[in-house]
Amino acid sequence: MATVLETENLTREFGALVAVDDVSVAIDDADITSIIGPNGAGKTTFYNLLAGQLEPTEGRVFIRPRRTDTIADGGTATDTDDGTDADGGAGGSAGTAADAGRGGDGLVDVTGMEPFEINRLGLARAFQINNVFERLTVLENVRIARISRDGRTLDVTSVAADDDELNEEARRVLELTNLVEVADTRCANLSHGDVRKVEIALALGTDPSVVLLDEPTAGMNATETRRMVDLIGDLNDDTDTTFLVTEHDMEVVLGISDRILVFDNGRLIADGTPDEVMADERVREAYLGGER
């Protein structure tokens, strides 16, 4: 078991409002971790801080990179287990992921980096609001994610269509997300459940070490919800990607989570297994009690 994502004293203030208040947490690669809390608890702000959409007022964010990319110019260093390049150096000049490393634990400080830089290092996000290219097919959407991962710029409807390696990689992602049958369907013509799966496929297409899932079952009927829960569980078992989930449906949370973090008024008030969290009086008062 290894830590793939960590925050230290993470804080975000908006004037007098403290949206995320001194949160320190380490996410392990073996767990599906869910974040719950009432509206306004700080969950979305926390996600925005992790992904680089917001900069913290105080504190740091660390991730374990999938690859040692050169942030400054999009170049890629040769991967090794200890974060050095093939020549035994620190992975390049200023601006590399290796330069931001935190000693021997393999984590990289991504605080203040741009979202695309954090994504290239290995943290991807599937948004609650659909963020797909509706006029493109499912396969074309995933090809874009693979191109983005490599820092390339291609016309996905022409040049990329003839890239056999790119197509093979994209189709492997479609197999993982049960989207092969709709590979050539435009996203505008998909069911809501399939569009949500495309969102996850786009995240996986960037080869992440961590995926942030934002309300993955939002707007789904009972059948679609069960399929999504099964898919996330299968992906957790079949890949080495770690999933962090925000979700309001407590049945989904309890059914999918190895660990639950509970936020209230920007603070982390509980952290444990589903049974431990459900038995916590603070959780019943701050969250579950508020739902009754």
With beta carbons less than 8 A apart as the criterion, state whether 123 and 212 touch. Answer: yes
List of residues 6+ apart from 210 with CB closer than 8 A: 4, 5, 27, 63, 64, 122, 123, 124, 241, 242, 243, 244
pLDDT tens profile 44-85: 999 999 999 999 999 999 999 985 443 333 333 334 344 433
Q: Which residue has the tokens 């702000």?
A: 45
**Residue 151 pLDDT > 90:** no
Task: For the chain, give the percent of residues with pLDDT over 70.
Answer: 79
With beta carbons less than 8 A apart as the criterion, state whether 51 and 115 touch. Answer: yes
Helix and strand element counts for the chain (H, E)? 9, 10
Mean pLDDT across the chain: 84
Q: Indicate the pTM of the whole model.
A: 0.82
Phi, psi (degrees; rounded to nearest 5) at 267: -105, 150
Per-residue model confidence (pLDDT) at position 213? 96
